[in-house]
Copies of this chain bind each other. A is one copy, B any other.
Amino acid sequence: MSQSNKAVTLASRPVGPVTEDNFKIEQVPYPQISDPKTEVIVRLLQCSVDPYMRGRMSEKKSYIPPFELNKPIQGYAIVQVVECDDEQNVKYKKGELISGILPFQEYTLINVNHAPLAGLYTPHKTLVNGELPLSYGLSALGMPGITAWIGLNHLCEPKKGENVLVTAAGGAVGSMVGQLAKIQGCYVVGVAGSDEKVNHIVQELKFDAGFNYKTTSYAQGIEKHLPNGVDVYFDNVGGDALDQALIHMNKFGRIALCGAISQYNDTTVALGPRLTWLMIGKAIKMQGFIVGFYPELWPVAADAMAGYLLSGELKIDETVYNGIENVPKAFIGLMAGENKGKMIVKVSEKN
């Protein structure tokens, strides 16, 4: 078959900020099923660009292997089975929806015995039955939403009336963390990179307060909006923000380390003040985490998030690009903070 199969490949590894030159849009072979019992072909419907992908563009060893040069990049995606021998296949049916980390190419062969990284799974039932928009499978009911829920509720256990600080509060994870903390009855302050985002999280997402770290220092912003200190800090950025949060933490404070976007483009070893002694006297817990390490909590978190979405307690922001060729633009925009909430690329419509 000579059917078109466009892919986003890694043309070169970025040094510092990612540019369009680091990617290439090119044709890859259309896949062929050789064993109808175990193989199906899926079509890419929607894909997600996320900050953690910056790590995979480098050669640096990490918790998941780097992307390979001149091969399609990968990320969370929702795909639909388009070629499948429904009578012979041991697992899938034609038309079925699948989620997971998959290559960013229009058509992909999936072997039921060789699930890629982090496994493949059926999207939440509210997405399959159409109660909620399919794209929520990449936000509230996908990795970012589960990340927000596990990092906040499982690791930090916020109690009613506690003070919660969240950075990258206009982003996919941060915007949900703040709303989940409000649901827990906390006082929530969000930090974002523009006045527009700050207005949005306060006015639309009902955070108690927020500040723009580009015009207000972390120290000043925290002192102004959280004069009684921070009980829970959900860290998406690392660096100065984490230093200042540590300085302003209360006794028995909890910090979830979710991301360090301020550090991802650094080509040198950044230096920061040695502040861990502050953690001793205030008995602060700091816990790094990867959402994939808690598979047993995914269904729990997804059911909770679906409930909040259906009741209207949780609002989802999305920034959408259309067409697979716009993946590089979407990713570069994400790293520059141009997104409001989840950055998604819609590639094709569900059949």
Contact = CB atoms under 8 A, between A and B. Distances in A.
A284 B274 contact: no
A280 interface: yes
A286 interface: yes
Given A238-B277, A269-B273, A288 B282 contact: yes
A57 to B, nearest CB: 15
Contact of A283 (B280, B285, B287): B287
A280 B288 contact: yes
Contacts of A279: 257, 286-288
A293 B283 contact: yes
A191 to B, nearest CB: 17
Interface in A248-300: 251-252, 257-260, 263, 269-274, 276-290, 293
Interface in A34-83: 62-63
Nearest to A259: B280
Most buried by B among A62, A257, A258, A263: A257
Interface string A88-115: 0000000000000000000000000000
B238 A281 contact: no
A294 to B, nearest CB: 9
Contacts of A283: 287-290, 293
Contacts of A62: 281
A58 to B, nearest CB: 12
A258 B238 contact: no
A48 B289 CA distance: 40
Contacts of A252: 293
A180 interface: no
A80 B201 CA distance: 61
Contacts of A282: 63, 288
Given A282-B63, A288-B282, A263 B270 contact: no
A289 B293 contact: no
A286 B238 CA distance: 15
Contacts of A272: 271-274
A306 interface: no
A286 B246 CA distance: 13
Contacts of A258: 280
A289 to B, nearest CB: 5
A288 to B, nearest CB: 3
Nearest 8 A-B pairs (CB), nearest first? A279-B288, A63-B281, A280-B288, A260-B277, A271-B271, A272-B274, A270-B274, A286-B286
5 contacts: A63-B282, A259-B280, A260-B274, A272-B273, A284-B288
Interface of A: 62-63, 235, 238-239, 242, 251-252, 257-260, 263, 269-274, 276-290, 293
